[in-house]
Amino acid sequence: MTFETAPALACIGFFCLAAALGGGARADQVYPGCAQPGPAGKVWWVDPVNGKAPADGGTGSQTAPWTSLTGVLSFKFPPGYTRPLLSSVPYFHVVDGKRAYVADQIGSPPVQPGDTIRLMSGNYGDIVIGDYLQQVVNPSFVTVEAAPGQTPVFLTLYIRSTNKWAFKGIKVQSLLGTNNNKQALVSVTDQGASLPTSDIILENMQVSSADSIVGWTQAQMVAQFRGYGILAKGANTTCVSVTNSHMMNMVFGAGVFANNMLFANNEIDHDGDDMVDYGASNILLSHNYLHDDLDVGSGAHMDGMQGYPGAYSNVVIDSNRVIRQTDPKLPFPTYLQGIDAFDGDWTNLTVTNNVVVTSACWGIYFSSVHGGKIINNTAVADGLMPTPGKCKPLVVVGGNTHQGSPSNDVILRNNIANGLNIYNLDPNMTMDHNICLGINGRCQIVTYVNGKPDWGTVKPGMHGDHNFIDGRGAGGMFVNFDPAKFVFDLRLRPDASAIGAGNAAEAPPVDITGAPRAGRVDVGAYQHAPLK
């Protein structure tokens, strides 16, 4: 597949997430206001193949590494370890003459919060942080990372009731039911208000049920795929960051159900249901690449990004790419709805610079939006398989979801789609400067009058408030749009009608690639630039 990609940006959409540090280093990307790791402490080494327990002479140095990560950070330490080696981990031992389940004083065991634990290649098993009704409290970040050139493998990673952990460069992989474990490959959660979880960084993770599913049947996928790749949830789970990671070969790619959460610059492919599910406040989903969803025979409708029931605010979905199929040999291809929320109630919603290429009705669809901006997105049909309902990818602001109240105060502007629809009975519902991209010369723009849809017109030309039906279709708009060859270069041609046709008001300051929209504003996710 050919597609113009975007670099990982310090500034994503309307948010600046990380700034360059001295000495060429970079801060970790976290949601604005969440904690950043401070200065690094000591470095410790673990090697499950060649390491030794402390009782056998392991010191945690590079030349005498420990053998067990569980022995460092878990209350359930293995033979050869008489205590957890991380000082903040509670365990059952004698304190002041009584047996108690507490952590040692900071400074007693060798590994301290603020230190880094480097992992050599090998299988580390199921890794668990925290315990039932017990919390691990870190005053500084503990970093667990792959040593240079190494591939440490966890079967699963379960993080609960703790704070300030960074996991980097870890491969997490196992089939459903391995070691009688049916949880997500990576789980981040809490145990209520008294046992919260916060400030968890997951970076450069490789998460999958298996490396390859070539030759697998649908029944095998249903039986052996893990449910979620990375799942963060809980009313008392906050400040989770998932960046630059790859999730593949599972049922659901990721669940973004924690407040103040960043999910950015990730890739998800070859899963059997939704690629990203979300339902939380103060979340940013940005620069993710979602592609090649699978029909595993479950009967579910598939979504690139789907909102869940609940009442949420301050949700930003910016500069993501959802491409239904890029692999001509994809087994069990399926239609894929784009970025949507058929449930929930959404206040202060921003959906900008996203690209959706699919065979489904809903390119971008939201209802029950109160104070929303759906601006400068591109959603088009690949035409490669029958679309449910025989409709084409639309950009839509509807009335109300199953739980929410009717939309109000929403702007639908500067979008390119194969159809446009707005529930505009509220006087603050605005649809302007969009391009309805014709298929066989026709495209439909729908508004509402007296409570009923006005199906408008399908003929090329200008309609309503600078909404243009372009009968030339994708071939007249994009640099190279050739679904038969799985080529989707949606940058604008020099003669595209989208160039200079946008409204600058409320438009994102940069496009999907980070190029500025200074001065002239183009319609769609890409600002036109001469080809190099």
Over residues 13-60, the pLDDT tens digits come to 445 554 333 334 457 899 999 999 999 899 999 999 999 999 999 999
Name, in order, each residue with C-beta under 8 angstroms of 263's C-beta and a sequence gap of 6 or more.
242, 243, 254, 256, 276, 278, 283, 284, 285, 286, 288
User: What is the CA angle 23-27-33, rounded to 5?
Assistant: 145
Above 80 in pLDDT, residue 280?
yes
- What amino acid is encoded at 463 in this protein? H
Q: So what's the pLDDT on residue 532? A: 59
Taking all residues of the chain, what is their mean pLDDT, rounded to a whole number?
92
Reading the block at residue 236, the tokens are 């008392």
**Are 228 and 250 spatial neighbours (Cβ–Cβ below 8 Å)?**
yes
Count of the separate structural domains present in the chain: 1
Reading the block at residue 15, the tokens are 């948010």
What does the DSSP assignment read for 384-430? SSPPGGG---EEEE-S--SSSPPPEEEEEES-EES-EEE---STTEE
* pTM attached to this predicted model: 0.94
Residue 284 lies in a domain: no
Q: So what's the pLDDT on residue 23? A: 36
What does the DSSP assignment read for 100-117? EEEPPPTTSSSB-TT-EE
Domain of 453 in residue numbering reads as 1-25+310-527
Q: What is the pLDDT of residues 513-524, one digit of tens each?
A: 999 998 899 999
Residue 12 lies in a domain: yes
Reading the block at residue 239, the tokens are 């400040």
Q: How far is CA 275 from CA 16, 246, 291, 305, in A?
A: 25, 12, 8, 6
Residue 373 lies in a domain: yes
Q: What is the pLDDT of residues 162-220, one digit of tens each?
A: 999 999 999 999 999 999 999 999 999 999 999 999 999 999 999 999 999 999 999 99
Q: What is the pLDDT of residues 125-142, one digit of tens each?
A: 999 999 889 899 999 999
Reading the block at residue 113, the tokens are 């919060």
**Are 223 and 176 spatial neighbours (Cβ–Cβ below 8 Å)?**
yes
Q: What is the pLDDT of residues 230-278, one digit of tens each?
A: 999 999 999 999 999 999 999 999 999 999 999 999 999 999 999 999 9
Q: So what's the pLDDT on residue 93? A: 80
CA distance 19 to 9: 10
Q: What is the pLDDT of residues 312-341, one digit of tens each?
A: 999 999 999 999 999 999 999 999 999 999
Residue 521 lies in a domain: yes
Query: How many other CB atoms are found less than 10 A from the CB of residue 454?
Result: 12
Cβ-based burial of 4 (10 A; exposed 0-12, middle 13-18, buried ≥19): middle
Reading the block at residue 275, the tokens are 């690629």
CA distance 218 to 485: 26
Residue 187 lies in a domain: no
Residue 367 lies in a domain: yes
Q: At 296, is the secondary structure helix, strand, or coil?
A: coil
Strand 252-259 versus strand 116-119 pairing type: unpaired
Residue 87 lies in a domain: no
Tell me the CB-side half-sphere exposure of residue 343, using CA atoms within 13 A: 10
What totals of helices (H) and strands (E) does the chain contain, helices first? Answer: 2, 45
Task: Please list the residues that pair with 66 across neighbouring strands.
Answer: 46, 52
Residue 288 lies in a domain: no
